[in-house]
Amino acid sequence: MTTPNQGNGDGGGLSPADPTAPPHGQGHGQEGAIRLALGAIGVVFGDIGTSPLYAFRETFAGHHQLTLDTPHIMGAISLMFWSMMLVVTLKYVSIIMRADNKGEGGSLALLALISRSVPSQRWSAGIVLLGVFATALFYGDSMITPAVSVLSAVEGLAVVNPAFSQLVVPLALAILIFLFSIQRGGTHRVAALFGPVMLLYFLAISVLGVLSIVQLPMILWALNPWYALDFFLLTPVQAFLALGSVVLAVTGAEALYADMGHFGRKPIRFSWLWFVLPALMLNYMGQGSLLIREGQAALQSPFYNLAPDWFRLPLVGIATLAAIIASQAVITGAFSVTQQAIQLGFMPRLRIAHTSAATAGQIYIPLMNWGLMIMVILLVMTFKTSSNLTAAYGIAVTGAMFIDNVLLTVVLFKLWKWSPWVSVPLLSVFYIVDGAYLVANLTKIPDGGWFPLLIGLIVFTLLTTWSKGRKLMMDRLRESAMPIPVFVASASNSAVRVAGTAVFMTSTPDGVPHALLHNLKHNKVLHERVVLLTVKIADVPSVSPEKRYAIEDLGRGFFRVILNYGFMEEADVPAALAQVSGCGQSFKMMETSFFLARQTLLPSARPGMRIWREKLFAWMLRNAESAMEFFRLPTNRVIELGSQVEI
């Protein structure tokens, strides 16, 4: 297993780097604070914001049902409130969001930060594996979230009129297919509506909650932590199992951290504390008040039953729009995480299309989009109801939250050097809370919890196989590499020099690229200017323009050029070469030829990986996006030369 800054690219010139980069995603002015806060409400809080659609219902009607009485209702509300305070407010908003990688958040960004700041530790490989597994679990979550959010919203039609129940699954499928089909065109045109729609949604659920609370004001006492404790004292086993449903109230908490680079820490914190958290709690308390008053009659959907008859159909529309926005945020997140994984060397190159000229983060990855759509459709058709889907929901989230605790432990002790008197009690609370939620969710494995674990295991295997295989392949190539000075001295005297520039892309800045050796062997010529080009991906989000490239004159018309990019940036080689100076005349694309090496892997019994993983890596390498398209090389100026490598 390699560290997360291991490069990527078969002959494509990707390798690790660590240049100093400016802060990214921070420094927002006060004048844009309201706009950013509104944007955060529209994007960041979609997942956790749609939890009231099903979280409270599943606590009393799910697979581990609680007794529907006042003590348990008060206890569930209290537990949800204090879970939000401990997990979301304290852990993520107050502490983890301080651990940003040049402004970027998320498991991979945090992993890159730790690997860069705390290198050469005995336990670093284990930390990397945990971070990669958290990323793998995210993909399981990104499949379940759209399915459960849209299904639970559309199920409101059955509350409006039971005759509509047959339309729920077909309508949900139609909405989801439409959502995935518009990804290729980008969402920047409709993204401006996300904030206002979610604002309307949160206002609506707040008002409905207040109208229910005033009919039974004693529900406000549920904020007292005693009711959360009493929740377990009443029926300990039943209450513990119910944690698997209670945790649904905090699903999406990790999105606050992952989206920090887009909005900044302060707007997210402001939106959560002063708007989203109060709205959620007002609605949960309103649902609790309703269930105490009406009991089983309201349990089919306490969320929709809060609304008067005339407002239920409009509420279905508002909730469905909110569910679509929550799904869009998860899909966009999957694209961003995939781009980070590619740049950090955990995934083969995939085709990435930019859907907005103004916003660099607006990307579209076709393979990921259609793969997610197929899995979401299968989930809806298999589980059919949001109640069934919630059995699969939660394990991926709680698993990722628990892994974040491990990464936070490293940050507190190794990066921030916090006193054990402060960090140990704090971490103990986080481990106990998240551990309890994780164990409670593991009891749902037979009922559907196996799905995100299976997806996580498959993705984890793919990520680690690619990372390990890349390292082995690079090691094999280095073994046969000829030293540059020897090659320059011998080749420049014996080969015929022709006009023009030849750029040989190589994944490592050491040794002679195989493409150069093959070209000289078969064509027996060298260009007047030979550039050995390596693209390095740093474990920081972006690289400042002055650090973009480095040049080394190797003599006799040979130059070594290194292009540096952050893991959130796109590598545009022609655009970067146009800015390069110091290695002769400027680069003209019509006079420049790009030579790429295309390796064919031969699985062998040599130490490294098992044969089945070597074959899997070879398959991934064959299906990786061409370096020509990934680096935006001009199609009529590229020459690929093949070679065989045993790993």
Determine the average pLDDT of the residues in 298-322. 93
**CB environment 620-629: b (16+ within 10 A), e (fewer):** bbeebbbbbe
Q: What is the mean pLDDT of residues 510-537?
A: 85
For residues 422 and 78, give the distance between their C-alpha atoms in angstroms, rounded to a whole number. 26
Contact 466, 617 (CB under 8 A): yes
Looking at the predicted structure, is the pLDDT value of residue 580 above 50?
yes
Grouping H, G, I as helix, E, B as strand and the rest as coil, residue 471 is helix
Model pLDDT for residues 184-211, shown as the tens digit of each residue: 877 666 667 788 999 999 999 999 999 9
Q: What percent of the chain has pLDDT over 90?
A: 34
What's the rounded Cα separation, in Å, for the pair 214 and 607? 70
Binned at pLDDT 50, 70 and 90, residue 241 comes out as confident
Could you tell me the pLDDT band of residue 124, with boundaries at 50, 70 and 90?
low
Most confident option among 26-35, 165-174, 187-196? 165-174
Q: Is the model's pLDDT at 510 over the cut of 70?
A: yes
- Residue 608 clears pLDDT 70, i.e. is over it: yes
Q: How much is the pLDDT for 26? A: 41
170 class by beta-carbon count within 10 Å (0-12 exposed, 13-18 middle, 19+ buried): exposed
> What pTM value is reported for the model?
0.83
How far is 105 from 119, CA to CA, in rounded Å? 20
Task: Give yes or no for a contact between 345 and 135, defined as CB atoms under 8 angstroms apart.
Answer: no
Neighbouring C-beta atoms of residue 475, cutoff 10 Å: 12
What whole-number distance in Å separates Cα of residue 359 and Cα of residue 361?
6
Q: Give CA–CA dist 135/141, Å, rounded.
A: 10
φ, ψ for residue 536, nearest 5 deg: -105, 135
**SS3 category, 19:** coil
Q: Where are the beta strands (DSSP E) in 477-609?
A: 496-505, 525-538, 549-555, 558-565, 592-602
Inform me whether the pLDDT recorded for 329 exceeds 90.
no
CATH class, 14-468 region:
mainly alpha
- Quick one: pLDDT band at residue 46, thresholds 50, 70, 90? confident
Residue type, 50: T
Q: Which of 299, 338, 304 is nearest to 52 (CA)?
A: 304
Instruction: Output the average pLDDT for the chain.
Output: 84
- Please check the confidence at residue 23 and state whether its pLDDT lies above 70: no
In the numeric block, the tokens 């730790």 are attached to 114
Q: Is the pLDDT of residue 28 over 50?
A: no
Contact 247, 397 (CB under 8 A): yes
CATH 1.20.1740.10-classified regions of the chain: 14-468
